[in-house]
Chains A and B, each alone.
Chain A
């Protein structure tokens, strides 16, 4: 039954954009039907997924829903449905007659494909839906394909996506050579260690490309920045998580992982985490900044996953439980608060028509509801209590600290050095989100766009409040979602999970609730006290004092680049910021300009030159590709004969 509900959900999403293709370009009917079908599909899908937590389903050759699938199915059904409702106003069909219908169609299709990937039980099915997802996302990113920058972002994405698919073909071919079947089943214990390592590394590269782990993140900032905001929310919230799903799934199928696998993931996660947030600090475009934060959070998730894999190598059930549960809960949390932030950024662009952080400011006055939601998302993404980001980071911290010989002695205390790195990621994230929230929503408007901002309608603020509510719920009552995580851990490594302590025994989830409520109580008390004292003392209002400066205008405010200047300077050795200063001023200075930007060094410094070099080498073989079908048929025949001879 639960399987059918999930399938109903997938079908609803897959067809949600189809009716819209047959209605008039300017009619809102198609989009309304799509949003409605999306909601229906999501209710069915969420119900089915939750049902299967309590009543496990029997796997069939085509479909398998286990604890890991459920962990991913829930955000896949929740986020796009909310995004669809948001899109009703944000990407009104009447305002976008050329591309609105295309957007709706691929939006539903990608959602359906994402859900189908998590329940696919064999490799062929997996690859088919994977490719639908990968190509559909290309059309979503290039919604506004009349803009060259959008096309550019789309091309970078499609190249990265196809490299990932290529890796997956190799991965599944290797797995087939070992198991003799395309079904996604556990590999035999006697697998050669070289083959196992090759499978693992292929998975890291292919799924890392999708998830955006540094240095495979090159497609991510451009694609997230150029897509419509509810598409960015869906991509950052759930699409990149499918890469994590792949890593988790393949990780569960490989027997006896050697220690260095987990070490590789832990190191890659730490590097992604730190560099992601450092690159985010240098950005001026709100959505680009958020995109780099996705790289950071994927890094945190991969750290947890690495810890869990090391736990499996060392037979430490506590590492497995804390690392994997932390990683999977962070998948949820990130999909909630990052979609919330992208929808908030969408509301900003809807109201001001710009995403340039340094042109904004003072929006908390004109858009108080959006500002509140964005603040909730910002606090949550920094991992601060009492919101959800804190809970998942707490689990990963506990796992890292336990490597110090707490619970049982291990020779691998070096793992604990990831804890200070995670602390640094947290502090850098606070810096970055104070910058983003402060420059966009606080202070005074820096341009006339920002001065004339207005609050978006409830179809846009509603989904944001729903997401903010989820962030608060998981932050205050993590015990409520613990059973789902425990089941996912049990599906990942049944043996260790059955023998070891459970999640609620290892993590102080009850205390998180107590302390969260205590904090809320203290905040309420403090606010009431301040309000009372302010009321009793009497208030006056005036301009900002600013040390007595006579005419503080909007231009004297700290901007996003001045706010981040010290940190960007500290990390200049990796960021390579490009700064244009006015140079020497004469006695009567004229107009001067200051510009700073932080380009992506991996894309601009390594990938582009690398691909150019590759193109130069391969262009000498161009004569083979003459455009004649007969010639291509000949090549195929020759190749097949060659294969026959070789066998």
Chain B
């Protein structure tokens, strides 16, 4: 019971911290002070109280975008184990629900963008759904590797495998898998090198440009939903690169939050030292991610 409550508290409370930590890291690299790490909490508190402007072009779909984005990310968050503790909801096959929930979120985010009738938002929607077509197979190859290693089909047990033979046998496979999942994490959350979350210039238009017309509470929900998504997908990656179990709900939660913040720092480092890809090269890189996880799978089958 404790760990379920703790899971829900972490899921609801911690995500807005990640963009703050990423921002702080990037500011440190650039020699700036940067906004406080809690900036997104302040932003959310302000946005949720503001008024809204709705385009006369829009319909219910425009308002459904942010709502579906949050609801799917929350439900997906209940399927993933945080740190060493099991997830609140766990059954054989939950990994497929996990992946498809983000698909549902994508469907409505992109539709909400098209609802405005703006060419820029159409551009963002087209790119978002295009990149997902290549990220999804990479994710499923990763799931195959984890299912093979753990002989199970539920995220909780898949991500709790103790890797009996150690890194010696499965190590190479897990390194490839971690690299591939990290790329999936970056593209699913529209980070550099695929998208630049700080701008919505035409050249970088993916996620940020899809939400150009959302304002006030709707924008707040979108920002919160995006942070949730980063947090939830990050939790999957963390179990692969840092499978530490303390055996105690509180200690596990502590370790989990610490590693999650380290992941945010890592994303900040990547964003500081890399330039964004030219848009035409992004698919090539995603195909590489697919191949990495496919090789990771083949290594296990040999």
The answer to whether B156 has its CB under 8 Å from any CB of chain A is no
Closest A residue to B216 by beta carbon equals A537
- Bound together, the chains give a CA A36 to CA B111 distance in angstroms of 39
A residues contacting B by CB (< 8 A) are: 361-362, 364-365, 368, 371, 375, 378-379, 382-385, 390, 393-394, 397-398, 401-402, 404-406, 413-414, 416-417, 419-424, 426-428, 430-431, 433-435, 437-439, 442-444, 507-508, 511-512, 514-515, 518-519, 522-523, 525-527, 530, 533-534, 536-547, 549, 552, 554, 556-558, 562-567, 570
Closest B residue to A424 by beta carbon equals B137
Q: Which 8 A-B pairs have the closest CB atoms?
A: A558-B122, A438-B114, A443-B117, A533-B217, A522-B71, A431-B129, A526-B67, A420-B137
How close is A606's CB to chain B, nearest CB, in angstroms?
A: 26
Given known contacts A404-B148, A406-B152, A546-B121, what 4 new A-B pairs fall within 8 Å (CB)? A375-B111, A383-B103, A431-B130, A542-B54
- Bound together, the chains give a CA A556 to CA B121 distance in angstroms of 11
How close is A620's CB to chain B, nearest CB, in angstroms?
A: 50
Task: Report A-chain residues with C-beta under 8 Å of the C-beta of B151.
Answer: 404-406
Task: Report B-chain residues with C-beta under 8 Å of the C-beta of A379.
Answer: 104, 107
The answer to whether B3 has its CB under 8 Å from any CB of chain A is no
How close is B107's CB to chain A, nearest CB, in angstroms?
A: 5
Contact of A419 among B103, B110, B129, B144 (CB under 8 A): B144
Task: Report B-chain residues with C-beta under 8 Å of the C-beta of A443.
Answer: 57, 114-117
- Bound together, the chains give a CA A323 to CA B280 distance in angstroms of 38
Residues 109 to 130 of chain B near chain A (Cβ within 8 Å): 110-111, 114-123, 125-127, 129-130
The answer to whether B241 has its CB under 8 Å from any CB of chain A is no
Task: Report B-chain residues with C-beta under 8 Å of the C-beta of A567.
Answer: 130, 133
Q: Are A558 and B123 in contact, with the CB atoms below 8 A?
A: yes
Q: Are A530 and B100 in contact, with the CB atoms below 8 A?
A: no
Task: Report B-chain residues with C-beta under 8 Å of the C-beta of A538.
Answer: 51-52
How close is B224's CB to chain A, nearest CB, in angstroms?
A: 11
How close is B118's CB to chain A, nearest CB, in angstroms?
A: 4
Contact of B107 among A430, A523, A530, A543 (CB under 8 A): A430
Task: Report B-chain residues with C-beta under 8 Å of the C-beta of A406.
Answer: 147, 151-153
Q: Are A362 and B57 in contact, with the CB atoms below 8 A?
A: yes
Q: Are B213 and A544 in contact, with the CB atoms below 8 A?
A: yes
Task: Report A-chain residues with C-beta under 8 Å of the C-beta of B116.
Answer: 443, 544, 546
- Bound together, the chains give a CA A361 to CA B59 distance in angstroms of 12
Which DSSP category, helix, strand, loop or mixed, fits chain B's interface? helix
The answer to whether B10 has its CB under 8 Å from any CB of chain A is no
The answer to whether B276 has its CB under 8 Å from any CB of chain A is no
Task: Report A-chain residues with C-beta under 8 Å of the C-beta of B114.
Answer: 434, 438-439, 442-443, 558
Closest B residue to A431 by beta carbon equals B129
Q: Are A540 and B51 in contact, with the CB atoms below 8 A?
A: yes
A-B contact pairs, 14 of them (CB 8 A): A371-B59, A379-B107, A401-B147, A420-B294, A438-B125, A508-B94, A519-B101, A522-B71, A522-B74, A523-B68, A543-B57, A557-B117, A558-B126, A562-B122
Q: Are A365 and B59 in contact, with the CB atoms below 8 A?
A: yes
- Bound together, the chains give a CA A420 to CA B136 distance in angstroms of 7
Task: Report B-chain residues with C-beta under 8 Å of the C-beta of A428.
Answer: 133
Binds A, one of B21-29, B34-42, B85-93, B159-167: B85-93
A534-B216, A542-B53, A543-B56 are contacts. A507–B63 as well, Cβ < 8 Å?
no
Task: Report A-chain residues with C-beta under 8 Å of the C-beta of B99.
Answer: 423
- Bound together, the chains give a CA A405 to CA B150 distance in angstroms of 10
Q: Are A413 and B148 in contact, with the CB atoms below 8 A?
A: yes
The answer to whether B212 has its CB under 8 Å from any CB of chain A is yes
Q: Are A384 and B107 in contact, with the CB atoms below 8 A?
A: yes
A383-B100, A437-B111, A508-B91 are contacts. A427–B129 as well, Cβ < 8 Å?
yes
Q: Are A444 and B283 in contact, with the CB atoms below 8 A?
A: no
Which of B53, B137, B143 gathers the greatest number of chain A CB atoms within 10 Å?
B137
Closest A residue to B153 by beta carbon equals A401
- Bound together, the chains give a CA A378 to CA B110 distance in angstroms of 13
Q: Are B137 and A438 in contact, with the CB atoms below 8 A?
A: no
A444-B57, A542-B53, A566-B127 are contacts. A423–B122 as well, Cβ < 8 Å?
no
- Bound together, the chains give a CA A421 to CA B74 distance in angstroms of 27
Contact of A430 among B96, B103, B123, B200 (CB under 8 A): B103
A413-B301, A527-B67 are contacts. A444–B53 as well, Cβ < 8 Å?
no
The answer to whether B259 has its CB under 8 Å from any CB of chain A is no
Contact of A570 among B89, B148, B283 (CB under 8 A): B283
- Bound together, the chains give a CA A438 to CA B115 distance in angstroms of 7
Closest A residue to B117 by beta carbon equals A443
The answer to whether B66 has its CB under 8 Å from any CB of chain A is yes
- Bound together, the chains give a CA A104 to CA B229 distance in angstroms of 52
Task: Report A-chain residues with C-beta under 8 Å of the C-beta of B60.
Answer: 364
Q: Are B67 and A523 in contact, with the CB atoms below 8 A?
A: yes
The answer to whether B72 has its CB under 8 Å from any CB of chain A is yes
- Bound together, the chains give a CA A307 to CA B106 distance in angstroms of 30
A382-B103, A542-B55 are contacts. A552–B93 as well, Cβ < 8 Å?
no
Contact of A546 among B133, B136, B143, B212 (CB under 8 A): B212
The answer to whether B221 has its CB under 8 Å from any CB of chain A is yes
How close is A527's CB to chain B, nearest CB, in angstroms?
A: 5
Q: Are A508 and B93 in contact, with the CB atoms below 8 A?
A: yes
Task: Report B-chain residues with C-beta under 8 Å of the C-beta of A401.
Answer: 143-144, 147, 153
- Bound together, the chains give a CA A405 to CA B127 distance in angstroms of 37
Task: Report A-chain residues with C-beta under 8 Å of the C-beta of B297.
Answer: 416-417
Q: Are B133 and A424 in contact, with the CB atoms below 8 A?
A: yes
Q: Are A530 and B117 in contact, with the CB atoms below 8 A?
A: no
- Bound together, the chains give a CA A127 to CA B119 distance in angstroms of 54
Q: Are B115 and A442 in contact, with the CB atoms below 8 A?
A: yes
Q: Are B133 and A384 in contact, with the CB atoms below 8 A?
A: no
Contact of A431 among B100, B132, B147 (CB under 8 A): B132
Task: Report B-chain residues with C-beta under 8 Å of the C-beta of A422.
Answer: 140
A444-B57, A542-B56, A544-B55 are contacts. A508–B103 as well, Cβ < 8 Å?
no
